[in-house]
Structure 1
Amino acid sequence: MQQFSELQQRQREVEQSFALLRQEQARLSELQDSLQQSQQQLEEQTPESRFYQRAAKLVEKGADVEELMAECELPRNEAELLISLHSRR
């Protein structure tokens, strides 16, 4: 009788473990979907938007007009505009 009780207890533990594994699998699946969406969004960005994102980061770090023009191949007026927009924040 005690063996049967121990087996039932072990079965409940195994079932709980499987339930936790299913929950973790669902969470990992959601994370994978989220990562795939993020990757797709990055792939869909135009090269121009990547240059502007890089330029914005440089401005945040204190880059000047000349540096933006050289590093991001931006015309002077666009580099000045980015710096101007950043200073308004």
Structure 2
Amino acid sequence: MPKMPLNAHFADTAPTSSVLTAYDEHCMLTYIRLLDASADGADWREVARSVLHIDPEQEPERAFRAWATHLARARWMSRGSCRSA
């Protein structure tokens, strides 16, 4: 299976809205992958690279911010705090 190229198709930060957004719907599988990686104790750098397709060596601040905010959003959604707009 070919590797997905590193690119910027994920936002630098996840939404903070109190309702689900179109971006959240687009990222649903990504959120699940982030939660799984977190549960497995995966290093954030590897997750940023493999899940968010952001190179943490080239863009460490952006990679960390994207990883942290998307994981926080995934956790928020998994707690059932979200509702549809």
Q: TM-score, normalised by structure 2?
A: 0.37
Bigger-Rg structure (1/2):
1
Q: Which has the higher contact order (CA 8 A, sep 6+)?
A: 2
- Give the TM-score, by structure 1 length: 0.35
